[in-house]
Structure 1
């Protein structure tokens, strides 16, 4: 085995499925200095800094501004043409690549080779993934050479296809170091496919997308990549010792290099001088059950509002949910009794005044001491005069008879009786009253208007379980936001809503019409696989940013309890991991036999951590949740072929068979799945040992 001659490091986080939403979201976070610390949210901090490095958002320069404005295609184009090795992702990876003598801009190099291939051998103009590995990343004529002869490389590839022998310029396998090579290479290609430069066919052949004659925008982008030949120059450095300060300077230099080549669009100058666009205002997190939608939404919402719980309101839609629930309406409410807000002393006075078993004189005598102690003896005759017409004798503080029995005060009380509402026995009762009762939308709207500098998030769980057109009603008009994040159009308020808003916001506030302010976000989760969901019309969908959570996108965040084979099912002694079994079942359900849509498959968090604490908990949770879900929702029409047991149309029979046979109740495709074969220990990207299934 030779010495390692080629080191590469990339990431698993740059999935093309989340480029749009994540790039814009993280750009806004960097520009607004709202990236959470690792202590507050380790996962989000890691994702933001990883994507922020590769797309050059950390620098808060031109690229970040373009991304924040939503022009992600221009950001990715800049990434494809400028990303190179060496780069200062980490100090160790930078030093290793410099020592190797590598200088490679891999994505633009793949495009250039494919473009030239189309000119020379148009009928053979493709690259296999293995050819990209060998002839781009590990080719001395490409990765280690500053003067490139791509025609010679193409001829080498043709010779290799004919002979199946690699030329001597290719670095041997045992002299390569690239953890997660296959996965990260797929990530590179996924980004290029997302950008529209390449297409990967069903046989895995990578081909250049040939521009149409009238597609001037794509032609310009392709030409920009093909003609770009710059490299980041890091200058003279002592790679045996790079201080933290020196490494930070290298990163700044690299960021500035990448930033200077972004194609500025017409809006960039306006963006630079105006408020920074924020995270998408209306956003729907969707994917199969258990993919982590709700968790991710909650974590991002908490990060956005800096963990201020009173800045988030959560509501769950259901088939009976209405506009009145969501926005608000005039409703009957129980009002507390008139005396509920009084202090104890006042309540004692009222109890004496309303006591029908004693005379007015006895009431005076009963209240004399308490009013005497508060210098209120002159007020007591007024109060009794308010309530009663009969006479009573009054006393001074020393107990002697008062002059004229305080007749003046008593008469004052009787005179003003018609102008006041006396508290009586009826005042002790709660009453039904009608008031405008705001829903979660109006409640949070008021908070956002009262505090315009702070973000507020309204979270709607299961948004498609209600008829959204009916629930949102005229609020639908407010979902069109302008560049500042405020509603483009307003709606007219009803009289009862107007009265409520003025009571909360102040009489001087004009609330004849309302708009959603830029600091109010509405985020939702959706799972189209659920039974009893309502369809969304295109006009409604168009006003939302959709963040898709792929079936296995978040499995890297699973705990060891979910990954390690540690559960015995049935009478088998074979240890099985939850994640392996889940993937085996998903693969079988995806075959032509069942042809189940992805949104009905199971994500890694379909079972909660509590279900994985021990063997008993797992078996019970698997029966009560997984088997029930498969039985009721997924294979409802094909139970006999999916469940290998007698009476497979009875859930109880399936559970009993599972207790005896374990995974043998499933088809052979599950039992013999590659995911359930022998386990082996591997090393994760962060250097920690990890058990994975192969």
Structure 2
């Protein structure tokens, strides 16, 4: 019976999402989800239920999961309601990327470069002497399991497979049409292999994530990654970091405000291992009437972030490294480089000995250190920076590299572009009343196109790293503290200073194309600067064709 059911499930998963099951399994559960078992936002309009969990009904199905029997709550004669959640068991579910995208191509489950991720679903008895178990309560399961539940609508089927001899499961969504096609409703809800045994070891219940059974700091949760956001200047890399933080557990994080879970630093050519990890420093201490000098370890940002992450493994911690290419990053990381290899759960694949860090964090210099899965390391790099350090291939391999394009323009909720600015200059030198109006977004769109267009098509034939992002200049808006004139003066000063200088020195000078951004009779930066200060035309007719084309003229 068991093998017949498994054969059917293997066929369904292969046909719907191309999945080839590789593990051995010793129990199967298949459940059709009613409106009460799906998330509120996916329920039909007429649904009146407020249930927040998936109900596993029938005591015959309880053996699929280990569970905790809380006598003070489950004793029907003397049940104490406040004891219901005294123990909540979370079990690990492996979620498959192909299945998730089969169910919802827009899913927010973040698989990154992996084909699977781990979600943790809660398990507990529903009521005293109840024939119902609660699975995946929204307030007692992790974010991944909540996002997994978001894949399901009424009459979709949940398939759960228990990996043989482990407290570890694989979970899949099958849409209602496919479930009907394969007659899933006929599959027994709970189907075990007999004569199997699973040791429920509290130290290794999460897929043997604990490398050392005596190590209370071994990691239980999953998800951490190392990622570098790179692209031209002003593309909103810091804005992207804010979104990453918001989407990984700190919903209220706002740039500019201090948050205890976010550690941020900017690297520079003199930034070293001691600035990153820490070093032994002399400390002066008063001892009665005399002064003693002792030497003690002074931790820096990596060590502080690591200690904070290990102090509570259930909360995310973010280490933000701005401008990574401006420092010798291999020297900065030193032996920490070995920790950057992460396993599928987000923990360091290898632990290392570092006496100073171990003594500071664990009070035991013999402990091995590692990066836990709740510590996210996010760096930024500008591709246009000159005279910077080159990151070696081995280091790059240990980071996910995410390119932030200069041509991705961010809008407000209203649909208007963020950080736009309008200014006017004299179009014709001989006619002082002739004025042309530029807006920032259209200007950078046309500049970015002009920069990469081949010279035979009228452009500069340069690479994307010379392009300009939407936030290359951050414009000010008039408010109660800044007058309209003050905002206008500041914004135009940024155009004539920052933008024009960049275009002249870092873009135009690097092009061998016969075409130019600027008027051909401008022979020096001084000439260019004087013209823009007087708000006179500086752009060539060739470039203006690109600008007018971007405006739709």
TM bin (shorter chain)? 0.5 to 0.7
User: Could you say if the C-alpha distance between residues 566 and 547 of structure 1 is closer, same or farther in structure 2, counting changes exceeding 3 Å?
Assistant: same
Question: Does structure 1 residue 672 correspond to structure 2 residue 545?
Answer: yes
Instruction: Give the drift of 1:633.
Output: 1.7
| Aligned counterpart for 2:245 among listed residues 301, 306, 311 | 301
State the shift of 1:619 in Å: 2.2
Q: CA deviation digits over 1:604-624, x for unaligned, max 9?
A: 121213279654333211111
Say whether the 8 Å CA contact 1:305–1:456 is kept in structure 2: no
Map of 1:626 onto structure 2:
499
User: Which of 277, 286, 294 is residue 327 of structure 1 equivalent to?
Assistant: 277
* 1:578 matches 2:440: yes
Q: Does structure 2 retain, via aligned residues, the 8 Å contact 1:75–1:262?
A: no
What's the CA shift for 1:661? 6.1
Alignment partners' CA distance in 2, 1:618 and 1:643:
21
The root-mean-square deviation of aligned C-alpha atoms, in Å, is 4.4
Q: What residue is the counterpart of 1:483 in the other structure?
A: 344
Is the contact between residue 486 and residue 516 of structure 1 (CA under 8 Å) also seen in structure 2?
Answer: yes
Q: Which residue in 2 is equivalent to 1:457?
A: 318
1:357-376 aligned within 5 A:
none
Question: Structure 1 residues 439 and 460, CA, compared in 2 at 3 Å: closer, same or farther?
Answer: same
Counterpart for residue 526 of structure 1: 381
Are 1:468 and 2:334 counterparts?
A: no
2:295 pairs with 1:445: no
Q: Distance in 1 between matches of 2:315 and 2:226?
A: 17
1:261 to partner: Cα distance? 10
Cα pair 1:611 1:617 within 8 Å, conserved: no
Find the structure with the greater CA-based Rg: 1
**More helix by percentage:** 1
What pairs with 1:458-607 in structure 2 (closer than 5 Å)? 458-494=319-355, 496-501=356-361, 505-506=362-363, 509=364, 511-557=366-412, 560=416, 566-570=422-426, 572-593=434-455, 594-607=460-473
**Conserved? CA contact 2:228–2:401, under 8 Å:** yes
Query: Number of matched residues?
Result: 359
Rounded to whole Å, the distance in 2 between the matches of 1:638 and 1:567 is 27
C-alpha distance after superposition, 1:436-493 (max 9, x if no partner): 1212111111112222222211100011221221111111110111233221111111
Q: Mapping of 1:647-658 within 5 angstroms?
A: 648=522, 650-658=524-532
Deviation (angstroms), 1:293: 0.8
Question: Could you say which structure has the greater relative contact order, defined with CA pairs below 8 angstroms and 6 or more residues apart?
Answer: 1
Larger mean CA deviation between 448-457 and 562-571 belongs to 562-571
The C-alpha deviation readout for 1:386-428, integer Å capped at 9, x for no partner, is xxxxxxxxxxxxxxxxxxxxxxxxxxxxxxxxxxx642xx65x
Structure 2 residue matching 1:526: 3-state secondary structure: strand
CA deviation profile, 1:192-221 (whole Å, cap 9, x unmatched):
xxxxxxxxxxxxxxxxxxxxxxxxxxxxxx
Distance 2:340 2:394 in 1: 11
Structure with the bigger percentage of strand: 2
Gaps of 5+ in 1: 1-48, 51-58, 62-67, 84-88, 90-250, 339-420, 679-692
For residues 326 and 163 of structure 2, what CA distance do their matches in structure 1 show? 40
C-alpha distance in 1, partners of 2:358/2:150? 53
Partners of 1:326 and 1:439 within 8 A in 2: yes
Question: Is 1:280–1:545's contact at 8 Å kept on the other side of the alignment?
Answer: no
Could you tell me the TM-score, scaled by structure 2's length? 0.55
1:659 to 518, 533, 539: 533
Q: Which runs of 5+ in 2 are unaligned?
A: 1-40, 43-51, 55-92, 108-148, 172-204, 208-219, 428-433, 479-483
Is residue 317 of structure 1 aligned with residue 172 of structure 2? no
Q: Is 1:642 the equivalent of 2:508?
A: no
Distance 1:630 1:70, change over 3 A: farther
When residues 672 and 73 of structure 1 are mapped into structure 2, their CA distance, relative to the original with a 3 A threshold, is: farther
Q: CA deviation at 1:514?
A: 0.8
CA contact (8 A) 2:445 2:550 kept: no
Instruction: Name the SS of the counterpart of 2:297 in structure 1.
Output: strand
Give the superposition deviation at 1:317.
Answer: 1.2
CA distance 1:658–1:476, change in 2 (3 Å): same
In structure 2, C-alpha distance between the alignment counterparts of 1:78 and 1:297, rounded to whole Å: 28
